[in-house]
Amino acid sequence: MKMIGNILWILLGGWWIALLWLVFGLILCITIVGIPFGVQCFKKAGLAFAPFGKTVELDFPKHPIANTLWAIFFGWHFVVFYILAGVAMFVTIIGIPFGIQAFKFAALSFFPFGAKVV
């Protein structure tokens, strides 16, 4: 089931989301200050390409300052987008598995530092 979900995810736009995260990470890596943030974007790009069968383990206390800075400047924008997308996907019965993945992205997008994708 994970393989079918990942194939449908990629065909229905997962590759596009992964590409956007990669580009955003590259833009952040242009500056020295943005490199840690860019690395977190690469983590999200990997998850965005094939999210089914993976879980996100958050560890906010590991990097509280970096997570707070990310949440203030970038995270809340992504969280709002992913929550709205997840709710929209939950409206249809067939979109529920994709909505669950959107909520997984929302958690990772708010506090990415110290988080592990397993």
SS3 percent helix, strand, coil of the chain, rounded to 5, is 75, 5, 20
Q: Say how far residue 116 (Cα) sits from the centre of its chain.
A: 12
User: Residues 107-118: what's their mean pLDDT?
Assistant: 88
Residue 1 has pLDDT above 80, yes or no: no
Residue 56 has pLDDT above 80, yes or no: yes
Residue 14 structural domain = 2-117
Give me the chain's average pLDDT, please: 90
Q: How confident is the model at residue 55 (pLDDT cuts 50, 70, 90)?
A: confident
Report the number of distinct structural domains present in the chain: 1
Share of the chain above pLDDT 90, in %: 47
| CA distance linking residue 52 with residue 57, whole number of Å | 15
Cα–Cα distances in Å, from 29 out to 40, 41, 51, 53, 114? 10, 10, 24, 29, 18
